[in-house]
Amino acid sequence: MTENRFYRVEYLGKTYEFAFRYESGREDGFRAYILKAPGYGFRSSSLSATHRRKDDSGHYICWSERIRSKSSMDAVTALWCKATVMYIVHGGKSLDAYAEKLMKA
């Protein structure tokens, strides 16, 4: 199954838009392929800093556990979008600190 999903993050008076293609039925669960995302500007865009992976289908969100449902993929994608925006705006070594902060909120 594939499905396109769109996310918008409002942060400090600015809007950031994202688009993804969800794929399921994979051995490793769901994946969210990144179709559209804001540029990283002068921040590192390395795969590890931005929690992305890449295969022949493109870049997708990197998550430490298997994502087994669409609702879990939605939650991971929303968190990744918010952490990405915070990383773009504030910098740092990676999205990690922002994702942890958001998960604790």
What's residue 105's pLDDT?
81
What's residue 87's pLDDT?
96
Strands 14-26 and 2-11: antiparallel
Which residues of the chain have a pLDDT value below 50? none
What's residue 9's pLDDT?
98
What's residue 31's pLDDT?
95
